[in-house]
Amino acid sequence: MKIIENSKVKEKAYIEKLENGLTIVLIPKKGTHKKYIIWGTNYGSIDSEFIVPGEKEITKVPMGIAHFLEHKMFEQPDGTNSLDTLTALGVEANAYTTNDHTAYLFEATDNFYEAMTELMDYVQHPYFTDENVEKEKGIIGQEINMYEDSPEWRVYLNAMKAMYHNNPVKIDIAGTIESISKINKETLYKCYNTFYNPSNMVLVICGDFKSHDMLEEINKRLVETKSKGKIKRIYPKEPDDIVQEKIEQKLEVSQPLYVIGIKDKNNNCEKEIVKKHIAIEIILYLLMGKSSKLYKELYNQGIIYERPSLDYEFSKNYAHIMISGQATEPEIIYEKMKSEIENMKNNGIDKKDVVRIKKMIYGNYVKEYNDVGDIARMFLSDYFKGINSFDYLEEIEAINVEYLSQVLEDVFKEDKMVISIVKN
C-alpha cells in the first residue's frame, strides 16, 4: 500500500489499487467509536451519453438515471431491501448522487463488518424488475416535487442555466418526471454494467482499524470481476461564454434569494487545480468575507444580513464560482461586486489581508479532519477530481500576491458573470 501522510493534521492515508482496478483509500483514526465507509463510482447526473467499452455505438440514456439507479441498488432478489437490513443492524446508511459521482455509505459504532458485508454485496449485485422500477417512479416523483418547492435549489439551478448552454450540469440531478418515466430495467442494467466496474470505483474507509486488516476484509468481500476498457463519455461542446446574464423566477419567499455565478473555463483538473482553488477562496474572502469592505458596506445598508456562501465548484468538465445568499436587493450586490473586482484589479491585493485570510483558511482546512464521515467524503470526491486532499494543507503556504493577481485576472471576468434571483 502506498502511504501518504500529512504532518500538519497528523493523519495518514493508505492507498491501494487492486488488480481489478478498484482503488481503496484507508484512513485509520485512533480512538473514534464511529467507522465510516463510502463506496463511490465515478458516474453522476452528467453522464448520459457514452460508449460502452467494446461497443461502437453511442448509448444515450434518460436524464436522472444515475440517481434512479442509486435508489434501485438497495433492492434484493429475495424481496428484502438493503437499506432495511443495514438499518436493522443499527448503522446509519445512506446513498447520494452528485453531478460526477454516486456513493453508497454507512456510519457504524457496532456491527461494522456485518454491515460492510451487506453494503459490498448490494453494490455488486443489482436486481431490477419491471415492477420495482415502476414503483420507484412515484417516490422519486415526490423527491423531484420536494426540490421544486425549495427556493435554494431553484435559484442554484437557474444560475447553472444562465451559465451553461449545453453542459448537463444545468439539469436537475434527479431528472424530471417526464425523463424518469422512460427509465426501464434494461437501461438500468446497461448503466450499471458500464459504470459500476471496479476500475471506475473508489472505496474509502475512515475510523479506528489497522489498514492491513481492513484491506483483507475488503478483499474477502469482493466478487471477482475483470477490469474493463475505458468508458468513452460524450459531453456536448460547451462554449466559453454565458447564456444570459440575468435570470429570475417567482416563488413565495420572504426576501429574494440570489446566486451570483462566474463561469470559469473548463480546467479539466489541471495540475495546479488545488492551488487555484485555494487562490479563488482567498480572493472570495477578500472580496466578500466578513472582514471585507464590501461586506461592511452592504451590511450597514441593510442589503445583506448574513454572510453569503462563497464556493468554487468544479469537476472534470466544468468550473464556476458561486456567491449565494438571501438579501433585500441582490442586484446591488451584483453591481458592487463587479466594481469591487475592478478596484482590486486596478489597486492590487493587500499583502496584510492575504496573510490573515490564509491563516483563516488554514484553520478551516484543519477543522475538516474532526469527523470520520467528513474525512471519508472529502477524500472520495477529491479523488474523482484527481486530487489528494492533503495537498490543500501543503499548497496554501506557497500562494502569494502575484499568483492571486494572476488568478483574479484569469477567472474573475465581468463578461462571465451571471445573477440568478428567486423572489416574490
Q: In the complex, which residues of this chain contact another protein (CB under 8 A)? A: 8-10, 31-34, 81, 83-84, 86-93, 107-111, 135-136, 138-140, 142-143, 145-146, 148-151, 251-255, 257, 289-291, 296, 299-300, 302, 305, 326, 328, 356-357, 359-364, 366-367, 369-372
DSSP assignment string, 402-413: HHHHHHHHHH--
Nearer to another protein by C-beta: 258 or 384?
Answer: 258
Distance between first and last Cα of the chain: 56
Cβ atoms of 210 and 12 closer than 8 Å: no
Least Å distance, CB 416 to another protein, is 28
CA distance 118 to 221: 9
Least Å distance, CB 302 to another protein, is 5
Which stretches of 85-178 are assigned E, i.e. beta strand?
92-97, 102-108
* SS3 assignment, position 129: coil
Q: 10 Å Cβ neighbour count for 136?
A: 18
Nearer to another protein by C-beta: 10 or 271?
Answer: 10
DSSP class of 150:
-
CA distance 139 to 233: 29
Nearer to another protein by C-beta: 201 or 257?
Answer: 257
Least Å distance, CB 322 to another protein, is 19
Q: Does the annotation count 11 as an active-site position? A: no
- The one-letter amino acid at 86: L
Of 11, 70, 118, 238, which residue is the catalytic one? Answer: 70
Least Å distance, CB 291 to another protein, is 4
Nearer to another protein by C-beta: 20 or 249?
Answer: 249
Least Å distance, CB 84 to another protein, is 5
Nearer to another protein by C-beta: 22 or 327?
Answer: 327
What is the β-pairing status of strands 257-263 and 417-423? antiparallel
Nearer to another protein by C-beta: 53 or 151?
Answer: 151
Least Å distance, CB 394 to another protein, is 12
CA distance 190 to 201: 17
132 CB-contact burial (10 Å; exposed 0-12 / middle 13-18 / buried 19+): middle
Phi-psi label, residue 90: left if phi above 0, alpha if psi -120 to 50, beta otherwise = left
In terms of Cα–Cα distance, which of 145, 135, 14 is closest to 71? Answer: 135
Question: Cell 438497495 belongs to which residue?
Answer: 74
The residues annotated as belonging to the active site are 70
